[in-house]
A and B are shown apart, each in its own frame.
Chain A
């Protein structure tokens, strides 16, 4: 399996095959009301400098005090990553000067992180997955934001983000392609959202990644890596890796060597550019922050976090397959967002009944997903309740409406009849399907009579049957039960 995976991912160079090695440092904003070391709000989108405490602005004599909720979120995430939770961790100062870093240092966990080694299972396809090792997870402060577009002669600083808690999640160099890296980030994002420790909102910059890329000939020792800083979408992560791998391969094949350096990805020009070389690298002068005591966690606290953890995507996927008979593919799509999974289960189990899970899944992944996509919202936010979906599926199951009518009904439910009871709508619009065999037989006879040559053909070409079903449905305004129509046609045409 490992060799299959490796050979499948190789990049063809001018002089042979190359393997790309990827490791990621993901920075995820911790979901918490207040900042890592201050009581200021973490709300997004406030007026510049409206969520800034004395600590965040680094006023003289101000001291950091750890936010317990951020610690709990880091522990929960660590547990979700099946990682070692370190009972004792410490905070260090990373020193550098920048206007959006008021203290002149970032408080981070350099030596002893709160979470150690772990592992995450990443599905590449419904039946292929890889395991990516987690090196560590640590807590650190975010910086503020420099605004250079407010004045021609001056830069402004917004400290709203200054001091907001981030989790830096460092993977091992276990990924071998851009696709694997993308799958890893989406799986990690799913996991964080399940746990509720980060909303993973990449558009708001709440999840971003530093991407480490190196290349080597298969079987050889690891090559020199370059770090691509601050990539802020899953698509760009993939592009950055491909671009950077190509650059490194080209460089080596032309007789050059890769220098360890920090680079930036420019998506508009589709290239990575050097930001600073190893020699120019900052000397951050890390040392333990003397304002903070070591962070010590008691077992009871960790146990409480573990007991509180929701069902995570891997377990949920397995359960959906076992309990609802879903395929691996359907289950993995449904569990990608916790809210979608909940919507699915709610719909299936509405009113205590256990309805056709596959049907519910198909509606969710089909028309409802398409509608959500069109609205630009999540499936669970599309404006349809689980009860409505359950009723819709019931109406089909009871033979009251056909699938076709259900589709029309959905369109109404997304538009003017938002929030209405589907059953009431069926009555109000007279959409109840015709199951009366007499009426159906009449319609079938009429269509056959109008198309004698086609009826003749259908006797030898059963594929024609579908055309007849369509005609009958049309003539009945879509209200005929398609199964009954099909049965009647088979009988009349003796196929």
Chain B
């Protein structure tokens, strides 16, 4: 038991249950690891005192045999989740100093089940980004070193403010991904509007689950695009992700879009046979100019599932090419309205002005970063009189067609769909999107369809690129059939072999 931070969540749970370790010990080990990880810039707030208090309380419950499913397990929380009395800013300047007097349902569920909060994790501002570079708190570095970089070169770059050259962990849940991959927490909450859980999972060799829309309550999550946002976990194994999701999910009267359906025991689905399952491989996901590496990974994934007794069939999702453009209309449109509340009047940043209009303009100009401002302007534009039908209404029609594509495939008896998670492995900080934001948006090409259709998606690590960087595969399931994804995900995990995460060069 030399390194408590290298345990999986499930292992740590079992050790705690048998009292082989204490929650205070494992919490302290993670706090120490966080302390040494400043160069990665994963945490924007560390709640050490609270963590230790929670750990002590967990140990007491463990001693009394009153342990919850996550009792004593230290985890990180994306800054998007409202945590009572604790820094909650969605990594935006406009929420300067905001500490809510309330707790999000998802985090409340985690604390109810005994989890211990280590702190708040960095993210793209308001979850708008695919590289964690839009955060007001600066970029997050991936624990994976760029090809052929020495530890020293990595450490030097990590100490620079722009961290140029280091790899991004993806986004928007970059802090969550980086922290879990660097063993700074056993697992973390994340959120996914267009791929913000799954793309970082692929980039950092983790398992990420975006559950069915409505599976987790959105109450207390800072909204980006309400019809697409879903909470989900980032973890190091499929089992860990299943354990996390079971606690995070569940009915909530405070969110009208949250499903009343009871939450199944996801962990029980891990290890379940996939024999006889029918897996669809959609031809539209084979993009022109896609690297042969990704193609090969995809084919390998199909082979593994076949070897485990599933059948793999070609399917067609004909409206896939329209998903990304439609997504970049729907999501900014909702965001332009959701973010109107940040006006400097009631909380957060306020820049005084001669009158109310000037106060709004100055506060919002200073409080929002470039990418957020861009999307708010796109969103305002597409909802404007005269453009609404041409953009928003058409995008919604496309959304319906995308949904129908999936429904048809599932109606044909397909149990899940296998696709690549991302078009490439992780890229460098400062490398993409500065001249053309669309370059960055293309990262989400395989993931946005799932949000548009409201379906569950799971990304599992499936191998390394020729440069030695992690690559992931995505499984898309029927609504509320996360269990099938956990079963299939574990098959891929087992077939690919457990990924060895990087040594802590940053410490």
Partners in one complex: yes
Asked if A103 CB lies within 8 Å of chain B CBs, one says yes
Q: Using a CB-CB cutoff of 8 Å, which residues 178-226 of chain A contact chain B? A: none
Chain B hits for A449, CB < 8 A: none
Q: Mark B376-405, 1 if CB is under 8 A from A, else 0.
A: 000010011100100010000000000000
Q: Mark A286-307, 1 if CB is under 8 A from B, else 0.
A: 1100111100000000000000
Asked if B334 CB lies within 8 Å of chain A CBs, one says yes
Asked if B100 CB lies within 8 Å of chain A CBs, one says yes
CB <8 Å contact, B256 and A291: yes
CB <8 Å contact, B226 and A54: no
In the bound complex, CA of A494 to CA of B100 (Å): 95
Q: With A285-B383, A285-B384, A287-B337 in contact, is A63–B100 under 8 Å at CB?
A: no
Chain A hits for B220, CB < 8 A: 61-62
In the bound complex, CA of A139 to CA of B497 (Å): 57
Asked if A359 CB lies within 8 Å of chain B CBs, one says no
In the bound complex, CA of A103 to CA of B340 (Å): 6
Q: With A283-B385, A285-B380 in contact, is A63–B340 under 8 Å at CB?
A: no
The dominant DSSP class at the B interface is loop
CB <8 Å contact, B254 and A65: yes
Residue of A nearest to B348 (CB): A60
Task: Identify which of B219, B340, B346, B388 contacts A287 (C-beta below 8 A).
Answer: B388
> Closest CB-CB distance, A156 to chain B, in whole Å?
11
Q: Which of A94-102, A244-252, A312-320, A344-352 lies at the interface with chain B?
A: A94-102
Chain A hits for B339, CB < 8 A: 104
Q: With A61-B82, A61-B221, A99-B356 in contact, is A285–B337 under 8 Å at CB?
A: yes
Chain A hits for B198, CB < 8 A: none
Task: Identify which of A54, A57, A60, A95 contacts B337 (C-beta below 8 A).
Answer: A95
Q: With A104-B343, A293-B256 in contact, is A54–B385 under 8 Å at CB?
A: no
Chain A hits for B104, CB < 8 A: 61
Chain A hits for B20, CB < 8 A: none
Chain A hits for B356, CB < 8 A: 99, 155
Asked if B360 CB lies within 8 Å of chain A CBs, one says yes
Asked if B222 CB lies within 8 Å of chain A CBs, one says yes
Number of interface residues of B (CB under 8 A): 43
Asked if A328 CB lies within 8 Å of chain B CBs, one says no
Asked if A66 CB lies within 8 Å of chain B CBs, one says yes
Asked if B417 CB lies within 8 Å of chain A CBs, one says no
Chain A hits for B223, CB < 8 A: 60-61, 291
CB <8 Å contact, B333 and A287: yes
Task: Identify which of B256, B336, B346, B392 contacts A66 (C-beta below 8 A).
Answer: B256
CB <8 Å contact, A103 and B256: no
Residue of B nearest to A60 (CB): B222
Q: With A103-B340, A105-B337 in contact, is A63–B256 under 8 Å at CB?
A: yes
CB <8 Å contact, B221 and A104: no
Q: With A157-B345, A283-B385 in contact, is A104–B337 under 8 Å at CB?
A: yes
In the bound complex, CA of A291 to CA of B338 (Å): 10
Asked if B88 CB lies within 8 Å of chain A CBs, one says yes
Chain A hits for B334, CB < 8 A: 287, 290
CB <8 Å contact, B340 and A59: no
Q: With A65-B254, A103-B340, A287-B337 in contact, is A59–B347 under 8 Å at CB?
A: yes
In the bound complex, CA of A292 to CA of B254 (Å): 11
In the bound complex, CA of A57 to CA of B101 (Å): 13
CB-based closest 10 A-B pairs: A104-B340, A290-B227, A285-B383, A290-B226, A58-B341, A61-B220, A60-B222, A61-B82, A283-B385, A291-B226
Of the A-B pairs whose beta carbons lie under 8 Å apart in the complex, a sample of 17, sorted by A's number, is A54-B101, A57-B346, A60-B100, A60-B223, A62-B219, A62-B220, A95-B337, A97-B340, A97-B360, A99-B345, A157-B345, A285-B337, A285-B383, A285-B385, A290-B227, A290-B334, A291-B226
